Structures are given as C-alpha cells and as structure tokens.
Amino acid sequence: MTPKKINLLINCQWIIPIIPKDSILKDCAIAIDAGRIIGIFPQAEAAKKFTADKVEQLDNHIVMPGLVNSHGHAAMTLLRGYADDLPLKPWLEDHIWPAEAQFLSEEFVADGTQLAIAEMIKSGTTCFADMYFFHDAIAGEVRTAGIRSQIGFTVMEFATPYGKDADDYIHKGLALRDTFKDQPLIKIACAPHAPYSVGDKTLGILATYANELDMPIHIHCHETANEVTESLKIHGCRPLERLNSLGILLPQTQLVHMTQVVSEDIALVRDHGCHIMHCPQSNLKLASGFCPITEFIANGVNVSLGTDSAASNNDLDLFSEMQTASLLAKAVSGDATSLDAHATLRMATINGALALGWENEIGSVESGKYADLIAVKINSINQQPLYNPASQLVYTNAGGQVTHSWVAGKKLLNNRELCTIDEHSLIQKTEQWRNRIQGSNTIR
C-alpha cells in the first residue's frame, strides 16, 4: 500500500488525548493534514501509513490539546504588578480604571494583547477568551499571532476612551461581529461587564441580540460578597436572579468568578445550562472568595478555567492555574479526591472549548478536530521520576516546560522560540509602556 502524503507527523513519548476520558497513550504518533488531525497511531504503523512533509520527533514529551484560557483581559498585561495587594473595589475603582482613563488606546490594547498572547503561547494556551476594548486591535494581534480567541465586546453604562455609553459599545460590538463572523480563529461574544455596571435596559437588549444571533454572553457575576449585598439592597434580589429575569441566563452564557453562591444559584445555572469560568488565582489574590466548583460539577454544570488578567493574577500560565484549582478544590471541599489531575486537565481543555462553543473543533486530540496541540518536555529534574503523566502536568508547574505549540497545524512555538511574534521587539515596547505609566501620577 502506498503511504498517504500528509503535512505533519508528530511522534511522542506520551499523548493525553482528553477524549476518551482519563486515557494516556505511549509511543504513538499524531497524523495531521490540512490543519486537522487524521488520527493517532502506534509510531511503527504511522511510519508505514504516511509520508509527511515534516516529522516532529518528541521523545521526551507529552503531547496534548492546547489549553483554553476561558477568561481574561489580555491588554491589561501592561498593568501587571501595577496595583497589587488590594481588594477588588479599590483595586478597580481607585487604580485600574483611572490608569485606563489615562492610557487606554488602540496602541495600548495592541501592545498589551501581543504581550499576553506571547506569554500564553509560551505556557501552553492556544485559545483564549478576552473581554476588553478596541477590539479591532485585539483581532489584529490574534490573526497575526495565529492563536484562537473569543473576543468579547465589553458593554457598560459609563464612558471610557473607547466608547461614550452602552449604545455606543453595542453598536461597535455588532459591527465587530459582522466583520469577523466568518473568521475561523475568532468568535465574537457580547460581554456586559457585570450586573452592577450594566442597567436593566441594556441587559435586556443584549439578551435579545444573544438569542437572535446565537451569540455568547460573557459576564463577571457574583464575584464578591459586596456585589450580592448591593444587588439585594438596590434590586431586591441576588444578581443571578436579576440576570434570569432579564433573559441573560442562556445555554451560551459564560459566568465568570461565581464565588458567592447558594444552592438556589447553582440550580439556576444548572437549569439554564450556563457555563462557569473559574479564575482561582485572581479570586484568591483579590480575596473575592471561593467558587464551589465541586458542587457545580456534581450538579452537571460545565466548569472551565481562566486566569483573569495579569493585573490581578499576575501571570497567564494556565498550568499554574490548574495546580491552584485542584489544590483549592480539595481544601474547600475537604476531599482529597476532588478535581483529580484528569478532571483538572479537562477543565483547561475540552470544558473550555465547550464553554466557548468550540467543542467540536478543539479541546481534545481526535480525528477531524483542528490540530491545536502543545508539547510539554517531561525529562527535567523537577519532573523525575515519572509515574503518572497527567499528575505531572497538573502538579509540577509544567507551563515553563512547553516547547512546541500548533494551532490548526500551524506552528506557533518551536523549542521555546516564538514563531509568529518578535520577542525582543515586544520586550522593548513593554519597557516603553512601563516607563510611561510609571512616570504618570496614577501609580500607587
């Protein structure tokens, strides 16, 4: 039989395909052509079946789906370390928003997004959900880098350098959707900032658009105890109840944080098929609370993983986030079996893909899916001995060990070197921004 000609064959020591659940494969190969996975084969069989334009020999690596960072504000990476050690309200209102009022621009967003994308690629993320402003600049950096993204157009009632009011944000967001609706690497979501920053009329309008256009809704919700207290005082109900009454809770709704939760909240999320975007490190750093993810999971709710912004984390390493999520779930539940290594890996891959509506395209190593893959070198001293590859990925801070990355078969990282971003130029731009912001009168 004549071997089939394909674009890429990846031989590796281990594969964690995510689907089938809890499976680990050894000494296999992944065949890729036209950006999609053809299948997984024993290496000897693959060598007979295929002739590849390129063969990657990764003898000391685990190959797995690229990670899906399901919540963040990429451009805010330029504010990493800017206003640390503060609770959410003063951090946001007294420091972050004033800094954005002074520096937010298309240039700020482009450079900050590029910085975030570079960090995410180098730590294993191949798809991220973003929520910010100047969305054309975000989309431009996504396309240039070759990464995959859900871009959420932020909506709030007050003015920023990007928009003057809610109607203005919505108008720009719908134009964004029209521009990028057929782009394979980009999805557009409507992103009302939070229940406390968006009024009933605006939320109702967004619910209508989300229904009519089958567009995701991405929203911070139940992030702090004060948010819930203020909602009870002003609206006479909890934020989630208010969102439900306005039609915001839909199967494509993505609820970020959800740290202040009672059983009725869990039932609302479950009954409407919404998704949870869990950001444990940001929640811990801002002392916002603990999302009861084991209870959500027990109720059949899809829980994905996000980093939030580098301004409140302070990194975008989703492997580090996995370790925190698993350890925190065990501590909060009092059960050491909670969120085991495989469940945690699913949260950072297929669960994120499901939350973003990409579950049929990415999130697992399966025939027909896009070749959004990463390779993690597993022979470093801090990862020896190796008994369980899944545990090693979750519990040993593996983000710095990511050596290769592909999106739709296009290489974004090769032996730790970025393929689509000039790292030296990026660092220079970042230092210029640091000098500008540090020299202003907004810094603490």
Domain boundaries, the chain: 4-65+369-418, 67-355
| pLDDT, tens digit (0-9, with 9 covering 90-100), for 268-303 | 999 999 999 999 999 999 999 999 999 999 999 999
CA distance 262 to 423: 45
Distances (CA, A) of 221 to 177, 248, 333: 24, 12, 22
- Please report how the helices 135-145 and 106-122 are oriented relative to each other, as an axis angle in degrees rounded to 10: 40
Terminal C-alpha separation, the chain = 69
Label residue 150 by pLDDT band (50, 70, 90).
very high
Which CATH entry fits the domain spanning 67-355: 2.30.30.790, 3.20.20.140, 3.40.50.9100, 1.10.940.10?
3.20.20.140
The hierarchical CATH code for the domain 4-65+369-418 is 2.30.40.10
- pTM for the model: 0.97
pLDDT at 440 over 80: no
pLDDT at 97 over 90: no
| pLDDT, tens digit (0-9, with 9 covering 90-100), for 401-436 | 999 999 999 999 999 999 999 999 999 999 999 999
Q: Is 98 exposed, middle or buried (CB count within 10 Å of its CB: 0-12, 13-18, 19+)?
A: middle
Label residue 444 by pLDDT band (50, 70, 90).
very low
Residues 6+ apart with CB under 8 A from 43: 11, 27, 28, 29
CA distance 255 to 75: 21
Q: What is the mean pLDDT of residues 177-192?
A: 95
User: How far is C-alpha 20 from the chain's CA centre?
Assistant: 22
pLDDT at 185 over 90: yes
Label residue 86 by pLDDT band (50, 70, 90).
confident
What letters, b where the CB count within 10 A reaches 16 and e where it falls short, cover 372-384? bbbbbbbeeeebe
Q: Determine the pLDDT at residue 215.
A: 97
CA distance 147 to 141: 9
Name which residue leads in pLDDT, 96 or 147. Answer: 147
Name which residue leads in pLDDT, 430 or 382. Answer: 430
Mean pLDDT score of the chain: 96
Q: Determine the pLDDT at residue 92.
A: 84
For the chain, the C-alpha Rg in angstroms (whole number) is 21
CA distance 192 to 256: 11
Task: Check: CB of residue 72 under 8 Å from CB of residue 314.
Answer: no
